[in-house]
Structure 1
Amino acid sequence: MNYRLTRLAGVLVAGSILAGCATQGGNTAAGGGIGAVVGAGLGALIGDSSKAAGIGAGIGAVTGAIVGYNWDRIVGKVDQAGGKQLGISTTQMADGSLKVNIPDGATFDISKATLKPAIYPVLNALATSMIEEPTLRLKSVGHTDSTGSAAFNQTLSVNRASSVVNYLASQGVAAGRMSVEGRGPNDPVADNSTPSGRAMNRRVELYLYAVR
């Protein structure tokens, strides 16, 4: 049998066994970590790419064990800070993280990486939450549509993701608790051939997660 497939099967079997143990024990914190372990295993097999992130953890491989976390309070803070009005959505992921999806209209002008003031209250709420809870970490992932050159879009996606992290750092969040990734146009969520699809693809995804 192909060595890579053998390793993949091992990861999936181990994940199934661990997930069963977590269910029997009723330990939701362990369950969140297990999803990340399986995701990290798949990431190691497939490579650290947007595809691996989609299959496993959106945050990719991380240092430390991911633990379960009740995200309701932070979701409430994002909504209270005007997140819904800006089109910001939150999703609790299977790997135990919280994805905060920020459309580019709420954050940046077209082809720019300078944050709009309208997003400050939401980012302030996230910064406050991270300062209050030292176990929280954040990964900022920038995405673009396919208009323009691949090199330009890659740089733009990194710069936009970095702008969010830099702002959070300016509000007191330690830089070492955050990371940045730019995926350019390589991880679309909609059809780039339509204006509405391109608008959906231009976004920054923030992944919050808790570690031991």
Structure 2
Amino acid sequence: MNPFKRRLSNMLKKLGILFLSASFLTACETTNPYTGESQVSKTATGATIGAVAGALGGLMVGGSSHAQRNAVLIGAGVGALGGGLIGNYMDRQEAELRQQLQGTGVSVTRYGDQIRLNMPGNITFNTDQDSVKGQFYPVLNSVAIVLKKYNKSLVDVFGFTDSTGSLAHNQDLSQRRALAVANYLNSQGIDGRRLAVQGYGPSNPIASNDTVEGRSQNRRVEIQIAPLRQDGY
């Protein structure tokens, strides 16, 4: 087992999460966070571990559809939102996130009924590392406070890198960083069944990788928040 797989396995075991065989690490279908369309993962190392059900809450690694998590949470008795309640619920959640995250360097953007938090790499992780910077934990604590209050929402954590280095390395790094953020949120009381993690490596850049500034923008973790809907998603 290579060092990344060993490290990821140990991390998942600590959380009581079922670690699936490495045979599932290839050709996994995921959802593009920007287009909503299905796409096949480009790497065989760490890109996905399928739909993972964990004893401590079911943190989903490698991408899990909103419909799957809707079904699990509703089946567990978590109330879902319907009709006009969704917009108001997400409005209030957005307002509190903006208040909590003001001046932190994290941007809050609204897309319809979804909210996206953009966490630039320069404030979240040191270069080529997957351990959250100590000074960023208070920011994640602020996010967790709001997510716990608004528990009728699903939380996707996406990791991205710039295009420097190999695709396999960037894919692994983006996955590990997203997992580190999700694990911390889980440790702060966010139900793991709400959470899903996906690393995208250098895919979906938001700026040009031809400049230092652009590469800095592309190195990021995003948290996407969507309502838990009665009609699924």
TM-score (norm 1): 0.68
Q: Secondary structure at the match of 2:30?
A: coil
What is the distance in 2 between the residues matched to 1:60 and 1:189?
Answer: 23
What is the distance in 2 between the residues matched to 1:136 and 1:56?
Answer: 18
Unmatched 5+ stretches in structure 1: 1-46
Aligned to 1:55: 35
Aligned to 2:210: 193
Query: Relative to structure 2, which stretch is displaced further, 62-71 or 142-151?
Result: 62-71
Aligned to 2:156: 139
| 49 and 173 in structure 1: CA distance in 2 versus 1, 3 angstrom threshold | closer
Q: Secondary structure at the match of 1:208?
A: strand
What is the distance in 1 between the residues matched to 2:81 and 2:124?
Answer: 29
| 61 and 163 in structure 1: CA distance in 2 versus 1, 3 angstrom threshold | same
Deviations 1:125-154, CA, capped at 9 Å, x for gaps: 222222223312200000000011101100
RMSD: 2.4
Runs of 4+ in structure 1 off by over 4 angstroms are none
Count of residue pairs brought into register by the alignment = 162
What is the distance in 2 between the residues matched to 1:73 and 1:119?
Answer: 24
Q: Is the 8 A contact 2:167 2:202 kept in 1?
A: yes
Deviations 1:148-201, CA, capped at 9 Å, x for gaps: 110110000001101111111111112111000000001111110100000000
Unmatched 5+ stretches in structure 2: 1-28, 38-62, 71-79
Aligned to 1:102: 119
- The code of the aligned residue for 1:199 comes to S
What is the distance in 1 between the residues matched to 2:81 and 2:117?
Answer: 18
- The code of the aligned residue for 1:142 comes to G
Aligned to 2:136: 119
Deviations 1:61-86, CA, capped at 9 Å, x for gaps: 412387524444444444444x3433
What is the distance in 2 between the residues matched to 1:109 and 1:150?
Answer: 19
Aligned to 2:181: 164
Aligned counterparts, 1:7-156, within 5 A: 48-50=30-32, 53-56=33-36, 61-63=65-67, 64=70, 68-69=86-87, 70-81=89-100, 83-94=101-112, 96-156=113-173
Between Structure 1 and Structure 2, whose CA radius of gyration is higher?
Answer: 1
Aligned to 2:20: none
* Shift in Å, 1:49: 4.1
- Identity, in percent, stands at 35
Higher relative contact order at CA 8 Å, sep ≥6: structure 1 or structure 2? 2
TM-score (norm 2): 0.62
* Shift in Å, 1:205: 0.7
Q: Is the 8 A contact 1:74 1:126 kept in 2?
A: no
Q: Secondary structure at the match of 2:210?
A: coil
| 207 and 122 in structure 1: CA distance in 2 versus 1, 3 angstrom threshold | same
Higher share of residues assigned helix: 1
Which of the numbers 199, 203, 208 marks the counterpart of 2:225? Answer: 208
Q: Is the 8 A contact 1:66 1:209 kept in 2?
A: no
* Shift in Å, 1:122: 2.4
